[in-house]
Structure 1
Amino acid sequence: MKKSFIKVGIIYSVGQILSKAITFLLMPLYIKKLGIEVYGQLALVDTILDFILSFVIVSIFAGFTRYYREYNEIDRKKLKNTAINFALIMIIIDIIFVIIFGRKISSVVIGIDNSYYIFCMIVMRAILTQFIMLMLREYDLNYEAQITVVINLVNMLASVGLTILFVVKLNRGIKGIYEAYNIVNLIILIYLFVKNLKTYKMEIDFNMLKSMLKFSAGLIPSSISSTVLTLSDRYFLKGYKSYAETGIYSMGYKFGTLIDPVFVGPFNSIFTPFKFQVWSEDDASIKLNNMYRTYHLLGCFFLLGISMFTKSVLLICKLGEQIEAYKIVPLILISYFVYGKAAFYSLGIQVKNKTYLDGVIMMAGGILNILLNIVLIKPMGMYGAATATIVSYLFMNILYYFVGKKFYFIKYENLIVIKLYIISIILYVGYYFISKNNQNIIIDIIIATILMGIYLLMLIILKIVSKEEVNLYILKFKNKLIKR
């Protein structure tokens, strides 16, 4: 019996929202305890983590995801064991690499106090994070969202508790943040490994490994290029401006990337297995278009919501000058929202196993981003960095569309999408000018709430969502309340 995609998506969303909410509680703590300049240094360290995440175990879980549905239950266990054992081999190689080259790399790339120790902590966190993702992937593929969400929430809560202890009580600074995450990640990984011990064997099927690596390794250049897109702006900001402006930009960037864990990530968690399941079916066009419409309906809602409520959150946190970060949030949100559409356009590349093209496209986007950062950051500061990000992601999305359709073409219906974009732009521009000089939290929340209500109303007025659909959702909601 198939589980409801919407139900699974909601579970993922709730888990991601709670996780992010906990993370955002730490932001004022970091800024007040570490200072905005050290917070800027932390932002650079975090982007290095993102870069290393791309290849510590060759993102083998991506290949595992791609081929999982193509095997029966027995062979799926062999596929999983192959991925796990390959990851263990890669960990040994990673450790040797850090021992030999770590000091030189850390002094150049990080360049702050205790850089080698911090670099070791970064690599350790990357290894543990990737391994946990691999161990949880089978639950995702079987739509067992509750397990993944609960484990991730426990991980986050424990990490936050230890982080507060290490940073506030023990004054460990950036080192303490990474030490806390590594301790908790190690405990979670041990738990997952013991939980899966019954099905684990020391085996590697080289044909399976070859297929997974061909898919996963093809994504490495794109993962690295993707990190360059978020890494280069921090470095140029640090060079052209200061750690302080880097810190403010990073704060705004965090709010902007909220759309990923709150919406894009959960959506793709259900859409990725779904698209691999339906792409060859006769009615694939209808099913994929329904998902495309859903992506934009919900995506624009979250995009507007985060854009308009960010200022209120910053006002509540009483961060003073850092409140200016809210102005770059919409640009970052749009960047990630647009890039999320690549999940639709890249389907042809993925089903034809042409994942090396991901790397080419991402590399092109990364190069463009670096060039734009050089041109825009010096005169425009963090606004130049945000502009460079959105232009780069738009450029990559266009490339994904034209390259992907050569291998597998679905004609997506964009009339509704255009209407949604127009509504969203008008509402946000209205919000910006109405609340520009407002410093009252209550008034700001009221303005944002009214405009969000107008968005929902416009969906019905413009017949983007039919009254029948609305009535159906209301009826389902009432039935659930009655059952409770």
Structure 2
Amino acid sequence: MDNKKMISNGVVYFFSSLFTQSVNLVLIPLYTNNLTQEQYGQFDLIMSVQQLLMLGITLGVFSGMVRFFNEYENRQELRNTALTFSLLWGSICVLIIWLVNPFIYPMLFDSIPGSNLFLPFVIMSSVLVCLNLIYSSYYAMQFQALKSSAVQIATIVTTLLLALYFFLVLDMGIIGILQAQLFSNLAVFIVLFLIHLKSFKLRWKQDQLRKMLSYGTGLMLGDISAWVLSLSDRFLIRGFMNLSSVAVYSIGYKIGMLINPFFINPFTSVFTPFKYKVYNEENGQERIGKMFRLYNFVGWLCVLGLSLFANIGVSLVATEEYRDANYVIPIIALSYFLSGAIAFYSLGLHIANKMRLNSAITVIAALVNILCNMLLIPWMGIYGSALSTVIAYVISNLLFYRFGSKYYPLRLSLWEPYKYLVVFVPIYGIHVVVMQMWPSLLLELLLNGVLCIVFVLVSLFCSFISRDELMNVLQQVILRKVRKLSYKGVQAKS
């Protein structure tokens, strides 16, 4: 894939993530203004449980399809095998939860209206998410960014519309949110299935399925550990503190993780097929190294932006009682940035199919996270929990770098991401001091813009990124936009 196509795909994924997260931001004030802090904390815990259960429902089959996509000529057959398995296994999971739910939901939830449907709705939504991921991954691996993004956009827009109806009009509370998610995923799956109906056939290719499941289940222990890293903190905060603290932490977390849809997800969507395509080429290491430098610069710029605009962000999506979330945001943004760097450091393990080692490293990081949470939450509260995640990702990056280099030496610097701290800390410190002395929205907006420019200039001055590297990306994006506008102008005249 040439640079032009890679950048164009990246732009599509960026604006798709931007739109998707914008809709999610609309949903946050909808929930925080119509649920109590305790209810919102309970809802956040349910969403955390859903992500854990989804690991057992998907069994990583769509990840396996992505991994072996370029190793089979008949890619439709590979997709159909993944779909056939997911339909069968998903049906079994749905049947099991309906059978056992009457015995377990009273133990998990208090007397919340509709709580008897929480788990069935969560499981059914997870099955549909897996099926939709297979379709969107199939598009993504063919560099069809528009189609892949359309799946995500359609899901989130339908969820918003249904949530407005179930949550506001019918006043269904938490169960209304879960019902909106279920129906939106179902609607998108039906559309995708009908579009590909002619090419779909029930397939059970044992060789393909064995490879996909071997790869996917090999990642499961690591995925569970990743869940512990990113979501188990809610349960620890609830245990040491209360549901209101979970709610405040959740708001800070949701804003801090905006670096994921705005930058890391679009970047990964482009980088994943790119790295598997070029890693064995003569200049593959050099090309991946350039991507790493770009990742660090743009990633830290995003961390800084989220940190500077944290106060404004919380004011827009939540009420005054969530104000303490401000200082959680920079720490969460940093932790997500460090988690994204794993895509580089772990490449050697993925190439060598060392999934057990990959999972073992994530398990170690998860255990470190739990230990740090238990030590820091009683001392620092929700900020200690956020800091625990950063510490865990620092250790996981160190281990991925150490073992991944054995199988594919990228010659990347382990300390490359951290050198930006010498720029970030003083700039953020200036922001905090000025805002405490002269709190003003207009001043904050002006100051934030100036500080972001200062970050870019200092990074160039310190040679963290070269002027050519920065200008090359900007020129490619601007050139593409100019061509697109010119094309539209010609069409309008004709």
* TM-score where L is the length of structure 2: 0.92
Amino acid at match of 1:78: E
Counting matched residue pairs gives 482
Give yes or no for contact 2:41–2:246 (8 Å, CA) kept in 1: yes
- Partner secondary structure for residue 95 of structure 2: helix
**How many angstroms does 1:151 deviate by?**
2.9
After TM superposition, the structure 1 stretch with the greater mean CA deviation from structure 2, 175-184 or 306-315, is: 306-315
Moved more, 316-325 or 6-15: 316-325
Q: What is the CA deviation profile of residues 371-421 of structure 1, one whole-angstrom value per residue up to 9, with x for unaligned ones?
A: 222222123211111111111121222121112122222111467645433
1:179 equivalent in structure 2: 179
**Superposition pairs for residues 79-478 of structure 1, below 5 Å?**
79-111=78-110, 113=112, 114-317=114-317, 319-413=319-413, 417-436=417-436, 439-469=439-469, 472=472
Aligned to 1:17: 18
Q: Judge which range, 365-374 or 263-272, deviates more.
A: 365-374
More displaced 10-residue stretch of structure 1: 424-433 or 349-358: 424-433
Work out the CA distance in 2 between the residues paired with 1:47 and 1:284: 38
Report SS of the residue matched to 1:161: helix
Shift in Å at residue 32 of structure 1? 1.3
Partner deviation per Cα, 1:253-288 (whole Å, 9 max, x = no partner): 111111111111111111111111111122121011
- Find the residue that maps to 2:407 and give its secondary structure: coil
For each residue in 1:212-244, what CA deviation from the matched residue of structure 2 results, as whole angstroms up to 9, or x when unmatched?
A: 111011111111111122332111211221111
1:52 aligns with: 53
* Equivalent position of 2:76 in the other structure: 77
Inter-CA distance 355–482: structure 2 relative to 1 (3 Å threshold): closer
Give the partner amino acid of 2:66: T
| 1:29 has 2:44 as partner | no
Whether the 8 Å CA contact 2:303–2:330 is kept in 1: the answer is: yes
SS of residue in 1 equivalent to 2:406: coil
Q: Which secondary structure state, in structure 2, belongs to the residue aligned with residue 405 of structure 1? A: helix
Contact 1:78 1:204 in 2 (8 A): no
Question: Which deviates the most, 236-245 or 248-257?
Answer: 236-245
Bigger Cα displacement from structure 2, 156-165 vs 419-428:
419-428
The Cα offsets for residues 65-86 of structure 1, whole Å up to 9 and x where unpaired, read as 00001122xx212111111111
Select between 353-362 and 133-142 the one with higher mean Cα deviation.
353-362
| The 10-residue stretch of structure 1 (180-189 or 469-478) with the greater mean CA deviation from structure 2 | 469-478
SS of the residue corresponding to residue 68 of structure 2 reads helix
| Mapped contact 2:348–2:405 kept (Cα < 8 A) | yes
What amino acid does structure 1 have at the position aligned with 2:105?
Answer: S
Would the aligned equivalents of 1:47 and 1:230 in 2 still touch at CA under 8 Å?
A: no
Kindly tell me: are residues 415 and 110 of structure 1, through their superposed partners in 2, closer, same or farther at Cα, counting changes over 3 Å?
A: same
Equivalent-residue separation in structure 1 for 2:158 and 2:285 (angstroms) = 44
Is residue 13–residue 263 contact of structure 1 (8 Å, CA) maintained in 2? Answer: yes
Contact 2:304–2:428 (Cα < 8 Å) also in 1? yes
CA contact (8 A) 2:125 2:181 kept: yes
Greater shift in the superposed pair: 473-482 or 165-174: 473-482
- Structure 1 residues 196 and 413 mapped into 2: Cα distance closer, same or farther (>3 Å)? same
Judged with a 3 Å threshold, the aligned counterparts in structure 2 of structure 1 residues 279 and 148 are, in CA distance, closer, same or farther, namely: same
Root-mean-square deviation over aligned CA pairs: 2.0
- Give the Cα separation in 1 of the matches to 2:173 and 2:145: 34
- What displacement does 1:439 show? 4.3
Find the aligned partners of 1:150 and 1:460 in 2 and give their Cα distance. 36
User: Contact 2:431–2:448 (CA<8 Å) still a contact in 1?
Assistant: yes
Structure 1: give runs of 5+ residues left out of the alignment: none
Aligned-pair CA distance for 1:298:
1.0
Cα deviation, residue 476, structure 1: 5.0
Q: Deviations over 1:145-186 (max 9, x none)?
A: 111223322221221111111111111111000101111110
Q: Supply the distance in 2 between the matched residues of 1:326 and 1:424 (Cα, whole angstroms).
A: 17
Offset of 1:463 from its aligned partner? 3.6
Give the CA deviation at 1:100: 3.2
Residues 8-52 of structure 1, C-alpha deviation per residue, up to 9 Å, x if partnerless?
Answer: 112111111111111111212211111211111111011011111
Equivalent residues of 2:294, 2:465 under 8 A apart: no
User: CA offsets per residue over residues 422-477 of structure 1, 9 Å max, x none?
Assistant: 21222122222222355432222211111011112223333444444555556556
Taking structure 1 as the reference length, the TM-score comes to: 0.94
SS at match of 1:248: helix
What displacement does 1:314 show?
2.1
Q: Helix, strand or coil for the counterpart of 1:390?
A: helix
> Which consecutive unaligned segments of at least 5 residues does structure 2 have?
487-494
Q: How big is the shift at 1:194?
A: 1.0
Q: Distance in 1 between matches of 2:80 and 2:478?
A: 45
Quick one: which amino acid aligns to residue 50 of structure 1?
Q
Whole-Å separation in 1 of the counterparts to 2:482 and 2:218: 50
1:308-364 per-residue CA deviation (whole Å, 9 max, x = no partner) reads 112112234562131220101111111111111111111111111111222212222
Instruction: Give the aligned residue type for 2:220.
Output: I
Cα gap change, 1:182/1:415 in structure 2, threshold over 3 Å: closer, same or farther?
Answer: closer
Distance in 1 separating the partners of 2:79 and 2:478: 42
Q: Could you tell me whether the CA contact under 8 Å between 1:45 and 1:110 is conserved in 2?
A: no
Change (3 A) 1:374 1:172: same
